[in-house]
Amino acid sequence: MEARSRFEVTARDPGCQARAGVLHTRRGPVETPVFMPVGTAGTVKALDPAEVEALGYRLILGNTYHLMLRPGADTVRAHGGLHGFMAWPHAVLTDSGGFQVWSLAHRRKILEEGVRFRSHIDGDLHLLTPERAVELQEALGADIMMALDECAPHDAAPRYLDQSLARTTRWAERCLRARSPAGGALFGIAQGALDVPRRLRHLAELAAMPFEGLALGGLSVGEGPDRMDAVLAEVVPAMPAERPRYLMGVGTPLDLLRGVGHGLDMFDCVLPTRNARNGSLFTWQGPIQIRNARHARDTGPVDASCACPTCRRFSRSYLRHLFLADEMLGLRLNTLHNLHFMAELMRRVREAIRLGRYPAWAAETLAALGAPPLRPLDPPGNKK
């Protein structure tokens, strides 16, 4: 059987844990470190898939929970999976739906069998088991699937956390048994809240299983960036070096540069596209809010150093007008700009790693963005 995926590290920075590589999926290679735009309901909001492709993206994320409820996995399967459904020719990663179900605290109940929950759309009762999560993701045609897990709160009590981690491990084993020979790669998700010893123990349990990659879940859920960074500094170096390392749901430039410095390879977040729809735009001098009055007569682009389609053609004044007039074009142009920024940020990240100057480059970039500096990064080989 052909490999579901293959990962190779092509460069390591001598000054920290940062590394560049290539994730070979069944729909082509993806350079890492990589940021994945989120296409929750089978679309990266406001953009044609061809525009996402033109920005350089070769891996996007789809959401199992939302797609299972509407339009339904069978409908997507009838199109040949998400690729045919949304006309996207490149790789797709799908989450298991576990995080969305976890966030519906008043609508769900966690059982050993799985998670029973009521749809936020029509109130219908559903049961999401590890086996069902894999079945749904295979119906969606995912190239990379995620195991069903429980995202425990960052302030969970130790006893509850132990029970949750043990159940997530059992669910991980069931996901592996459930996948078909034709299914995509499967990643396990290590949990543990902010408890580093428990995270390390859970990571070791999952690392012993034949997952193609491993992810860290349950971070950036209210604990604050500095506490998350402290956990990453301890945990990421212990992740298997031969497999891709994925930090789920994290997407600010500061968090990405911190995560890369600790040795992470993959990131996703709705923040760039959501911010764009709210008028918050990235620039290489720090974010701007396009609705502000100071942009009303500004005939210059959002960022003079940016080569995105928005900055090449339109002014801040025009974008502000579109936003205040609630014109759909404004949302599209803002989204194009923010996703171009993220793609360019990751391109520069990979280049800095290949040149062996990532810590210095990251410090310079964060200073220009007006973001807090990086904490000291550990050199290669330091696994705490």
DSSP annotation string for 306-353: --SHHHHH--HHHHHHHHHTT-HHHHHHHHHHHHHHHHHHHHHHHHHH
Handedness of CA 336, 140, 90, 177 (dihedral sign): positive
Q: Judge whether 303 counts as a catalytic residue.
A: no
Q: β-pairing, 125-128 with 115-118?
A: antiparallel
Phi then psi for residue 380, to 5 deg, are -60, 150
Secondary structure, 3-state, 165-233: HHHHHHHHHHHHHHCCCCCCEEEEEECCCCCHHHHHHHHHHHHCCCCCEEEECCCCCCCCHHHHHHHHH
What 8-state DSSP symbol labels residue 237? G
Q: H/E element holding 76? A: helix 73-78
Q: Compute the residue count for the chain.
A: 384
CA dihedral in degrees (236, 193, 376, 265; nearest 10)?
Answer: 40
- Cα–Cα dist 281/337, whole Å: 7
Annotated catalytic residue: which of 95, 143, 149, 255?
A: 95
Per-residue buried b or exposed e for 72-95, using 16+ beta carbons within 10 Å of the residue's own CB: ebeebbeeebbbebbebebbbbbb
Candidates 13, 255, 265, 268; catalytic one: 268
Task: Let me know if 149 is a catalytic residue.
Answer: no
> Which helix (H) or strand (E) segment is 30 a member of?
strand 28-32
- Dist. CA 267–CA 34, nearest whole Å: 6
Q: What one-character-per-residue DSSP string does 247-314 give?
A: ETT---HHHHHHHHHHT--EEE-SHHHHHHHTTEE--TT--EETTSGGGTT--S-S-TT--SHHHHH-
- Active site positions, annotated: 95, 268
